[in-house]
Chains A and B, each alone.
Chain A
Amino acid sequence: MPLKKPAPHAPPPAEANAEMAQLAASFVEESRKLLEEAGEALLALERDPDDGQAMGALFRAVHSIKGAAGLFDLPALVHLVHAGEDLLGAMREGRLRMDSGAADALFEGLDHVGRWVELFAAQGSLPPELMETARRYAAIYRARLAGLEGAEGAPAPAAAAVRHAWADAAGLPEGAPLVTIEYTPDESCFFSGDDPLRIAQSLPGLVWSELAPREPWAAPEAFDPYVCNLVFRLVSEAPHSEVEAHFRYMPDAVTIGLRESEPAPDPEAPKAPTGPLSPLAVELIEAQRRALAEHPRGGAHVAATLRNVAAALGLPVPPEEPAAAIAALLATAPPASEPEPLAIAEGSATRSDTPAERTLRVEQAKIDTLMNLVGEMVVAKNALPFLARDAEARFGSRELAREIKDKYAVIDRITRQLQSAVMEVRMMPVGDLFKRFPRLVRDIARKQDKLVRLEIEGEATEADKNVIEALAEPLTHILRNSLDHGIESREARLAAGKPETACVRLAAAQEADRVVIDVTDDGRGVDPARVRAKAIERGLIDEARAAQLTDAQAVQLVFLPGFSTAETVSDLSGRGVGMDAVRSVVERLGGTVTLESRCGEGTHVRLELPLSMAVTRVLTIDLGGQAYGIPIDLVIETVKVDPADIRRLKSAEAIVLRDAVIPIARLRSLLGMEPHPAKLESVLILRLGHATIGLVIDDFGTCMDIILKPFAGILAHMSGFSGSAVLGDGRVLLVLNLKEML
């Protein structure tokens, strides 16, 4: 099969090119979504092979990917998906059962398709050698099918069991095997652009037909012309597989039977020439027809599509005129069918009338731009009070100052609303993130031969997209740790009197302005003694200190950089980056991570994160005439202290505040500035993790909301600061990262 023929491209108009690019973009987007759905459905199926709904969803998703892929020059992708679809089709009809082997093969296939879609998105084409991979998987799928059907192409024995009683009464000619079809179109099929009559008329090898109402016609007043009430009984002399291919889009609506009898073509019946097309081609063209019907102006793509289809099938490249080419390819139909794609587009115009979900897909970059603009708007708006002050102080116009303030109030209100609207757009449910974990847990559990049930709760909890996305890595780490180290082997679980199937719970909830994610497992928990030993062995802590730690504190040692309890480095976790990486990501997002463990009973990891990172509330402080910001959630209180009350304990300083000794640090010395003696020291009491600490500064400022911008470019690696913000008067506020400094 030639992969791709250098199609003689007539220079297409620029508009068509742009349209094609748009189509490609939406294909990529859609395929990603469909692949996700397919993955979910496959997981559900693996758990319960009788889940008809999941089967349907999986089949539909795979089928849609194939249909859409036909628009582009992606022979490998189409080939692979087609083979997968055949396998799924057999499973759906109950001829084959889903087992974990088949699920593995299908999962791998889906992964390949996912990679290829990304490749296509990046490069606009796929390297031809991928066809090899596609063939390999197709062979795997076909082998499973072949085990079922015997020889390739042989009629399925199960299908032969369907016998239509009417076929015996129809006075059919005896002879070679005939395929009997009972086609009952879905009641609402007119709304999805189907024309059952044309589908019936274009059946390959049609030798006999009968048409009847499914139920007696309603009274004329109650008659609804758009509820399909027809049933078609058809007999074809084409091979079973070809007939099945013809009705592939409405498998629920047809039953296909086999009748062994002598043929003598009925002269009365419409006779259709059997087309030279393989079932795959018929199907692809049908997919194209549908795709065209969805794009009323789709005529422009027809030529390109046809070339691709033909190239994928190794057929001669069709002529340039799309209408003629389609007509030639669909020539299996009797002349009553619509020969032109444009007519088809008209025929399904009602499609757009069906109510559709009113959502808009927007690229994230556009929302980010909007968010940035809103941020700048906030900054620009904050300049107005300064302007008002200037108007009064420098130009002596109190009236002007008042008017500016009035306008400021209006702009301020609008900006706030704008900001919250944009933030709302950026919110997304954590469910989108959680979706990927069932597959992860399944794969790891299978690899380690453990039985694990993943329970997910609170998928609807919403948080900023950036927060959700940044959480993917840490949560993956945590889950991997749980499965790898936490969950015991099946034997160990049974020996410990636990159920064989372990349970990992992933729950999200909103608490005030924070989102809380809990990962709980019922595994062996973290062994404090082992953690202590390991930490000492790795030189992270000395023996004396390790002995002082309580068990709960010892468990926290897993967060230290370079800590790993795994005896061997597995490909799952245990590279010594796990929990340390989790903590650093979560803290960068302004969140906290806590770990509780009960030895033998399980581990509980809790992530707490701000709902949105867009606006940060900071307390400004003054230091040597420069303003700095400190995240307000760290600040417990502000106090002024007489320098004489600061006690020196060797090199460390501390104050006593309400009978508690609080160690203090001087920001000036931390930043390498000259000491600045003051009559009263201004001390910020901060909470960092579980420690309370005092920070001596020059003076306190005010609280304000800022849009924190992380440093970029050459400043990106500057430590001690988490970012900067522009103040209303144009000054730059540096926001301190105290966790890093202290």
Chain B
Amino acid sequence: MPIRYDKTRAVVEGHAAVEEAGDLAAWLIAGAARKVDLAACTGMHAAVLQCLMALTPHVTAAPQDETLARWLAPVLVLPEDPPPAKPARRRRKVAA
């Protein structure tokens, strides 16, 4: 199971496949303060990426995988840049 759901945090491990997107979206929509941990994530399907872009959950840990991190950095707010942590909680219309 590439995504493990804690109370308020989803931990993505390995490659998040397309089927995960539905669950993830539903889970993120259900609670506004829910967070995502991508540390162990090695790759994700575009549908999963879309969820993160559209629902802008707070990302608690950036992927350790450098290539993935490089792809995600421009479109998600990754924790390496501390200031955007707050606005991340608000749903923005367009990702940066």
Bound complex: CA of A196 vs CA of B22, how far in Å? 17
Bound complex: CA of A168 vs CA of B94, how far in Å? 22
Bound complex: CA of A336 vs CA of B54, how far in Å? 22
A228 and B18 in contact, given A223-B29, A336-B71 (Cβ under 8 angstroms): no
Bound complex: CA of A216 vs CA of B54, how far in Å? 9
A209 touches B54 (CB 8 A): no
Bound complex: CA of A226 vs CA of B49, how far in Å? 11
List B contacts of A230 (CB < 8 A): 46, 49-50, 53
Question: Which one of A216, A218, A334, A347 contacts B17 once the chains associate, using CB atoms below 8 Å?
Answer: A347
A223 touches B95 (CB 8 A): no
Most buried by A among B15, B18, B49, B93: B18
B91 touches A225 (CB 8 A): no
A197 touches B46 (CB 8 A): yes
Bound complex: CA of A377 vs CA of B17, how far in Å? 54
The residue of chain A having its C-beta at the shortest distance from the C-beta of B55 within the complex is A220
List A contacts of B19 (CB < 8 A): 349-350
The residue of chain B having its C-beta at the shortest distance from the C-beta of A216 within the complex is B93
Distance in angstroms from A181 CB to nearest chain B CB is 16
A196 and B46 in contact, given A216-B93, A226-B21 (Cβ under 8 angstroms): yes
B65 contacts the other chain (Cβ, under 8 Å)?
A: yes
Bound complex: CA of A213 vs CA of B22, how far in Å? 18
Bound complex: CA of A201 vs CA of B67, how far in Å? 9
Bound complex: CA of A32 vs CA of B13, how far in Å? 45
The residue of chain A having its C-beta at the shortest distance from the C-beta of B75 within the complex is A211
B70 contacts the other chain (Cβ, under 8 Å)?
A: yes
A336 touches B21 (CB 8 A): no
B47 touches A228 (CB 8 A): yes
B44 contacts the other chain (Cβ, under 8 Å)?
A: yes
Distance in angstroms from B2 CB to nearest chain A CB is 10
B74 contacts the other chain (Cβ, under 8 Å)?
A: yes
A268 and B70 in contact, given A217-B93, A220-B29, A350-B19 (Cβ under 8 angstroms): yes
The residue of chain A having its C-beta at the shortest distance from the C-beta of B45 within the complex is A195
A190 touches B54 (CB 8 A): no
A201 touches B18 (CB 8 A): no
Question: Which one of A195, A196, A201, A229 contacts B54 once the chains associate, using CB atoms below 8 Å?
Answer: A229
The residue of chain B having its C-beta at the shortest distance from the C-beta of A351 within the complex is B18
State which size class the interface on B falls in. Answer: 20 to 34
A225 touches B21 (CB 8 A): yes
Question: Which one of B18, B43, B67, B94 contacts A350 once the chains associate, using CB atoms below 8 Å?
Answer: B18
B53 touches A225 (CB 8 A): no
B74 touches A210 (CB 8 A): yes
A336 and B46 in contact, given A225-B22, A268-B70 (Cβ under 8 angstroms): no
A346 touches B17 (CB 8 A): yes
List B contacts of A211 (CB < 8 A): 49, 71, 74-75
User: Which B residues from 59 to 96 make CB contacts under 8 A with A?
Assistant: 65, 67-68, 70-71, 74-75, 91, 93-95
A270 contacts the other chain (Cβ, under 8 Å)?
A: yes
User: Which B residues from 31 to 65 make CB contacts under 8 A with A?
Assistant: 42-51, 53-55, 65
B24 contacts the other chain (Cβ, under 8 Å)?
A: yes
A337 contacts the other chain (Cβ, under 8 Å)?
A: yes
B15 touches A348 (CB 8 A): no
B46 touches A213 (CB 8 A): no
List B contacts of A334 (CB < 8 A): 67
B47 touches A201 (CB 8 A): no
Most buried by B among A221, A225, A228: A225
Bound complex: CA of A39 vs CA of B87, how far in Å? 58
Distance in angstroms from B81 CB to nearest chain A CB is 15
Chain A 185-226 against B: per-residue CB contact (8 Å), 1 yes, 0 no? 100001000011110010000000111110011101101011
Distance in angstroms from A117 CB to nearest chain B CB is 34
List A contacts of B22 (CB < 8 A): 225-226
List A contacts of B93 (CB < 8 A): 216-217
The residue of chain B having its C-beta at the shortest distance from the C-beta of A268 within the complex is B70
Chain A 276-302 against B: per-residue CB contact (8 Å), 1 yes, 0 no? 000000000000000000000000000
Distance in angstroms from B25 CB to nearest chain A CB is 4
Distance in angstroms from B31 CB to nearest chain A CB is 11
User: Which A residues from 220 to 242 make CB contacts under 8 A with B?
Assistant: 220-221, 223, 225-226, 228-230
Bound complex: CA of A197 vs CA of B19, how far in Å? 15
List B contacts of A672 (CB < 8 A): none
A223 and B25 in contact, given A213-B54, A338-B15 (Cβ under 8 angstroms): yes
List B contacts of A343 (CB < 8 A): 15, 17
Distance in angstroms from A632 CB to nearest chain B CB is 63
A217 and B43 in contact, given A190-B18, A270-B71, A334-B67 (Cβ under 8 angstroms): no
A497 contacts the other chain (Cβ, under 8 Å)?
A: no
Bound complex: CA of A82 vs CA of B45, how far in Å? 30
Distance in angstroms from A640 CB to nearest chain B CB is 81
Bound complex: CA of A217 vs CA of B71, how far in Å? 19
A335 contacts the other chain (Cβ, under 8 Å)?
A: yes
The residue of chain A having its C-beta at the shortest distance from the C-beta of B54 within the complex is A217
List B contacts of A350 (CB < 8 A): 18-19
A338 touches B54 (CB 8 A): no
Distance in angstroms from A351 CB to nearest chain B CB is 10
List A contacts of B46 (CB < 8 A): 185, 190, 195-198, 228, 230
5 contacts between A and B (CB under 8 A): A197-B44, A221-B29, A230-B49, A335-B65, A337-B43
Please provide the 6 A-B residue pairs with the shortest distance between their CB atoms, ordered closest to farther.
A197-B46, A225-B21, A217-B54, A225-B25, A336-B43, A196-B46
B residues with a Cβ closer than 8 A to A are 15, 17-19, 21-22, 24-25, 28-29, 42-51, 53-55, 65, 67-68, 70-71, 74-75, 91, 93-95
Contacts A225-B51, A336-B42 supplied; 20 other A-B pairs, CB < 8 Å: A185-B46, A190-B45, A195-B46, A197-B44, A197-B71, A201-B71, A211-B71, A213-B53, A217-B54, A217-B93, A220-B55, A223-B54, A225-B22, A225-B25, A225-B50, A229-B54, A230-B50, A337-B43, A347-B45, A348-B18
